[in-house]
Structure 1
């Protein structure tokens, strides 16, 4: 049977100075006005964890930063 370990990491809002995530009344959500350098910060986080074998499950955007949920298979 395959087994997994899980990790939850927090990234403070200071790392994302102008990241804007908004949802409309009908539940549609999008990233707005995101400068390229902020996209690169997020991409760096994803790639760094990915090279260590972690698979992103979910990102949650909040006013204080981002919470990421990861999993990876263990032997």
Structure 2
């Protein structure tokens, strides 16, 4: 059976590089709407985070956004223990 290690990380989303404040409103098919800051600063920081974690064997399971912070849940296969 495959066993997993898990890691939970919290990342502060960088401030936008553009001074103009922008908001995005998105609505789902049920009519629920969400207002959030547009990522004017780009996504390079997020791509760098994914690359770094991926190089170390971590796979993103889930993420959530709240008040300019991104919570990430990662998993990777546990190293097999050798019997002596």
Separation (CA, whole Å) in 2 of partners of 1:65 and 1:43? 16
Structure 1 residues not aligned, in runs of 5+: none
Residue 5 of structure 2 is matched in structure 1 by 5
1:34 CA displacement: 2.2
TM-score normalized with structure 2 length? 0.66
Higher strand share: 1
Q: How does 1:1-75 map to 2 (within 5 A)?
A: 1-13=1-13, 16-18=14-16, 23-24=26-27, 26-27=31-32, 33-35=38-40, 37-74=41-78, 75=80
Q: Is the 8 A contact 1:21 1:61 kept in 2?
A: no
Q: CA RMSD in A?
A: 2.7
Q: Report the CA distance between 1:50 and its aligned residue.
A: 0.6
Higher Rg of the two aligned structures: 2
Runs of 4+ residues over 6 Å off in structure 1: none
Flag structure 2 segments of 5+ consecutive residues without an equivalent.
Answer: 17-22
